[in-house]
Amino acid sequence: MNLFQFLGRISMSLYLIHEPLLYYIACCLNGLLEYPDKDASIEAIKAYGQLKKIPPWTLPIFWILSIKAGALLTIFVEEPTKKLLRKFNKKPRSVPPDINC
């Protein structure tokens, strides 16, 4: 399996895990992030946005952790769930009618 096939295989899990992982890394570096309430000033909202960012030196770590976590989710959660659901969905598939023009 080449790199692009592997990334395609884990793409859904990677999509689901990357944002929580990003927040986790930001929390580890900047402390717990509290979302500003609805009456917060523009400065408080901008400060929250700055805290969410991670330094550039953490990007390779973030990519490696995201790909590993995505692969683990795919292998141990997504694919076994697909197999299990296929067992319960044994309905015969309908065949589309043959259309002769």
DSSP state of 56: G
Residue labelled with tokens 């927040």: 23
Q: How far is CA 80 from CA 30, 65, 84, in A?
A: 36, 22, 6
In the predicted model, what is the mean pLDDT of residues 33-61? 80
pLDDT digits (tens, 9 = 90+) for 3-41: 999 999 999 999 999 999 988 888 888 887 777 777 778
The model's pTM: 0.71
Q: Give which of 55, 20, 53, 52 is closest to 36, Cα–Cα.
A: 52
